[in-house]
Amino acid sequence: MVSPDIGGVKRAEAFREALERRLGRPLGRAFMEKSRSEGVVSGDTLVGDVSGRTVIIIDDLISSGTTLARAVAACRAQGARRIFAAASHGLFNVKAGELLRNPALEQLVVTDTVPPFRLGAAAREKLRIVSVAPLFAEAIRRIHAGGSLVELMGG
């Protein structure tokens, strides 16, 4: 499990722990060093061993795709065998289509909180969209029935 920046380490770690429990085996972790100054993103150091492994990059949102593209490139350079990514929200500005055309990225999973209307058909081939409707429906049901939202969110 790879976080594309230090700020997302907790999110990636929570996902890694949940997947580890589900698979019943240990999973590795890594993160990218990233800094932003005057709107320019820099930093290309990957901390963690991804060589020969399948990696999943976990992020909160994708706008231009720059952060994710840096993580994909670093994982490939460090010998990752397969690279997937997932993000809660795909905002996908005009530049984001370039990210999905990168052959190193096999698939990107996002929720349907924002429609990917800015992406062309070719860019959408690697995109998998997961509906949040069942989660929201269950949250509403629990609110009305006095159920736990904390348990629903895995806490």
pLDDT score, position 39: 67
Report yes or no: 60 and 11 within 8 Å, Cβ to Cβ: yes
Q: Which residues pair with 55 in a beta bridge?
A: 83
Among 54-58, 115-119, 120-124, 139-143, where is mean pLDDT lowest? 120-124
Whether the model pTM is above 0.85: yes
- Round to whole Å and give the CA distance between 146 and 155: 16
Give me 23's structure tokens. Answer: 């698979």
At 135, is the secondary structure helix, strand, or coil?
Answer: helix
Candidate CATH numbers 3.40.50.2020, 3.40.50.970, 3.30.1490.20, 1.10.10.10; the one for domain 2-152: 3.40.50.2020
Catalytic residue at 95?
A: no
- Round to whole Å and give the CA distance between 47 and 75: 10
- Round to whole Å and give the CA distance between 33 and 47: 8
**Amino acid letter, residue 138:** E
Annotated catalytic residue within 10, 34, 95, 126 = 34
Average pLDDT over residues 53-77: 94
Strand 82-90 relative to strand 54-62, pairing: parallel
What digits encode the pLDDT tens for the residues 12-50? 999 999 999 999 999 999 999 876 667 666 667 899 999
> Which run of H or E residues covers position 149?
helix 149-152
102 phi and psi angles, rounded to 5 deg = -70, 120
Output the CA torsion sign for 38, 58, 18, 88: positive
**Amino acid letter, residue 152:** L
Q: Which residues pair with 54 in a beta bridge?
A: 82
The candidate with the shortest Cα–Cα distance to 72, out of 36, 126, 16, is 126
